[in-house]
């Protein structure tokens, strides 16, 4: 990632006159009026490219999209109302009945539900494979329309060699998509490794402050044009100007925040290795796979049976209990809460996640305060 998003350049490209503003104005309008009939007709005919209606185009949103394209080294980007809107709108722009999708095991739980509850009933076949199979089996993607990837995966954070998977995919004509929310463009830029489409829940590190829900897709001009032509206007899950403003603000501090998340995560990984109750630490760091250059603050650990997990969860003072991640505040999410989630197609149940697994979102508080909190919660929970 370049040292700082070049806000001035991006603003100048989307706003006729930014008036010297350091930040994008929030262009809070539904429609954009035309000066005369000829301009209106020319725009509708596609001869010009000015904004018509905020469902598909808005300057504040375009400023954020321009910065994301730059951060991920893509040609273009499109914002959405949530990470799930970005994921579902992208999949629906590329899939058709009868297609086969190969998906990573331990995909984000609602992505798994989208496959099982919405795409499968429409005649799409979905198979789930471990990261290893995507890397090592050169024929896994034979006849597969879409490879849906996360590296690292959700829940157990298994990383994969994306460049190798992209090579296999190219040979089979498979479109590759990756959810890059965990690493952010600071630690991994999948397009530079040969992946076709990058998806983000911008609700996490890109926003960085637990104050917005949003999503974004970055890819080539052609792929983004297809999404803009089909699912952005027709499903209509657009990014709002105010959310885009918050995300632009988040991007300015993304790199320094990621460095601090990494420092705290490194400290935890070092010290967790000496904790006797910890059976396994799931936290890939720099160079765990080629192209991954850092460790984010989201990890999971598996305890042995001596830890009373509900008591552990209740014993923290800094860490709060909750879903989501990527903001200032540290959070604990015990897998057994997710395993208990009501409703069909629970991915943690489907992929056999241990009830002794706990996810930690290490935030931006003092690392020593966080470690002291972890240690005292653990000692309060030993049975
Ligand atoms: C949160 C999350 C999503 C979904 O994003 P929303 O903004 O909540 O819709 C997708 N993928 C991953 C890895 C996530 O953590």
Q: Is the CB of 108 under 6 A from ligand 1?
A: yes
Residue 261 has pLDDT above 90, yes or no: yes
* pLDDT for position 22: 86
Residue 288: per-residue pLDDT:
97
Q: 217 CA to middle of ligand 1, Å?
A: 13
Alpha helices by DSSP H, the chain: 7-14, 37-44, 59-71, 83-94, 109-113, 131-136, 162-172, 184-187, 221-229, 231-235, 241-252, 254-272, 309-314, 335-339, 347-350, 367-380
Cα-to-centroid distance, 187 and ligand 1 (Å): 18
Is 80 exceeded by the pLDDT of residue 153? yes
Q: What is the DSSP letter of 53?
A: B
Regarding the beta carbon of 79 and ligand 1, being less than 6 Å apart is answered no
Mean pLDDT computed over 120-143: 98
Between 107-116, 131-140, 338-347, the lowest mean confidence (pLDDT) is in: 338-347
Question: How far apart are the C-alpha atoms of 119 and 128, rounded to whole Å?
Answer: 14
- CA of 305 from ligand 1 middle (Å) equals 30
Mean pLDDT within 126-135: 98
Q: Which of 14-28, 75-89, 175-189, 238-252 is predicted with the least confidence, judged by mean pLDDT?
A: 14-28
How much is the pLDDT for 1? 46
pLDDT for the residue numbered 298: 98
| 40-63 pLDDT per residue, tens | 999 999 999 999 999 999 999 999
CA contacts within 13 A on the Cβ side of 163: 8
Q: How far is the CA of 88 from the centre of ligand 1 (A)?
A: 11
Which 3 state secondary structure label does DSSP give 283? coil
CA of 171 to the centre of ligand 1 (A): 30
CB 160 within 8 A of CB 148: no
Evaluate if residue 125 carries a pLDDT over 50.
yes
Return the ligand 1 atom nearest residue 154 CA: 13
Mean pLDDT of 1-15: 59
Q: Which atom of ligand 1 is nearest to the CA of 84?
A: 9
User: Could you tell me the domains of the chain?
Assistant: 7-252 (3.40.640.10), 255-381 (3.90.1150.10)
356 lines ligand 1 (CB under 6 A): no
Counting runs of H as helices and runs of E as strands, what totals does the chain give?
Answer: 16, 12
pLDDT at 150: 98
CA of 115 to the centre of ligand 1 (A): 15
pTM listed for this prediction: 0.96
Q: Is 204 in the pocket of ligand 1 (CB under 6 A)?
A: yes
Tell me what percent of the residues of the chain surpass a pLDDT of 90. Answer: 93
Shortest-distance atom of ligand 1 to CA 202: 7
Going by alpha carbons, the residue nearest to atom 4 of ligand 1 is 83
Ligand 1 atom with the smallest distance to the CA of 324 is: 1
Question: What mean pLDDT value characterizes the chain?
Answer: 95
- For ligand 1, atom 8, the nearest C-alpha belongs to 83
Give backbone dihedrals phi and psi of 176, rounded to 5 degrees, phi first: -105, 135
Q: What is the pLDDT of residues 207-253, one digit of tens each?
A: 999 999 999 999 999 999 999 999 999 999 999 999 999 999 999 99
Which amino acid residue places its CA nearest to atom 5 of ligand 1?
A: 83
Q: How far is the CA of 110 from the centre of ligand 1 (A)?
A: 8
**pLDDT value at residue 7:** 64
pLDDT at 8: 64
């Amino acid at each position: 990632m370049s040292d700082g998003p070049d806000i001035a350049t991006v603003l100048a490209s989307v706003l006729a006159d930014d008036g010297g503003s350091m930040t994008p104005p929030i262009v809070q309008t539904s429609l954009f009026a035309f000066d005369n009939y000829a301009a209106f007709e020319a725009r509708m005919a596609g001869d010009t490219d000015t904004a018509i209606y905020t469902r598909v185009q808005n300057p504040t949103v375009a400023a954020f999209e321009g910065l994301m394209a730059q951060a991920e080294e893509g040609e273009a980007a499109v914002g959405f109302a949530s990470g799930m809107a970005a994921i579902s709108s992208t999949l629906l722009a590329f899939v058709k009945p009868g297609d086969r999708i190969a998906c990573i095991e331990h995909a984000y739980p609602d992505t798994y539900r989208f496959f099982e509850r919405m795409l499968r009933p429409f005649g799409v076949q979905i198979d789930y494979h471990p990261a290893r199979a995507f890397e090592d089996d050169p024929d896994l993607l034979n006849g597969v329309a879409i490879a849906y990837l996360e590296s690292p995966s959700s829940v157990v954070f298994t990383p994969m060699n994306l460049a190798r998977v992209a090579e296999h995919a190219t040979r089979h004509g498979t479109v590759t998509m990756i959810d890059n929310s965990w690493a952010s463009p600071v630690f991994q830029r999948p397009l530079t490794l040969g992946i076709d489409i990058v998806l983000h829940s911008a609700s996490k590190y890109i926003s960085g402050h637990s104050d917005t829900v949003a999503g974004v897709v970055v890819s080539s001009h052609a792929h983004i044009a297809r999404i803009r032509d089909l699912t952005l206007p027709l499903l209509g899950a657009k990014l709002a100007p105010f959310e885009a403003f918050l995300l632009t603000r988040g991007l300015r501090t993304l790199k320094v925040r990621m460095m601090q998340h990494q420092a705290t995560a490194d400290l935890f990984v070092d010290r967790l290795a000496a904790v006797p109750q910890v059976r396994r630490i799931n936290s890939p760091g720099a160079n765990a796979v080629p192209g991954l250059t850092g460790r984010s603050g989201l990890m999971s650990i598996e305890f042995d049976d001596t830890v009373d997990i509900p008591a552990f969860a209740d014993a923290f003072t800094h860490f709060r209990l909750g879903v989501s991640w990527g903001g200032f505040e540290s959070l604990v999410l015990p897998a057994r809460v997710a395993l208990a989630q009501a409703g069909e197609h629970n991915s943690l149940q489907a992929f056999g996640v241990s009830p002794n697994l706990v996810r930690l979102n290490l935030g931006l508080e003092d690392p020593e305060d966080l470690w002291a909190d972890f240690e005292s919660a653990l000692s309060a929970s030993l049975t």
